[in-house]
Amino acid sequence: MVDLLGQAVDWVNGMRAAHLSRSVTYVRGGESVELLATLGSTLYEVTDEAGATVQAKATDFIVSADELVLGGEPVEPQVGDSIHVAAGGKVLVFEVLELAGAGHYRPCDPYGAALRIHTKQVE
């Protein structure tokens, strides 16, 4: 039987990469890979030492899971990895960030074909 949902996920992911993305560099230690990413954001709440709750926004990068390959092996995002984005003659650096209770990435579809990686700008 044909998996229509799987075909639709592949098609949508291809359209996202072709029309709604930009080239970024994913870096872990001394290894890196160029891939296409769509920018997004996630709102989350943080409670400080005084008990005040503050709403913050993480910058998200949506990438194809099969493009996230380091050292010839497919990898999952890790806290501390970075994503480098060329913008306006500068390179902006975003670090993979653990969101309280939400992890540092999540699949965007039932098959995990695309990943939403949560980050914060550090440079």
For residues 40-53, average pLDDT: 84
Instruction: Provide the residue type at 30 as one letter.
Output: G
Q: Show me where the domains of the chain are located.
A: 4-121
How much is the pLDDT for 122? 94
Q: What is the pLDDT of residues 62-87, one digit of tens each?
A: 999 999 999 999 999 999 999 999 98
| 8 A C-beta contact, residue 23 and residue 83 | no
User: 94 vs 46, which has greater pLDDT?
Assistant: 94
Predicted TM-score (pTM) of the model is 0.87
In terms of DSSP bridges, do strands 69-70 and 114-121 run parallel, antiparallel, or are they unpaired?
unpaired
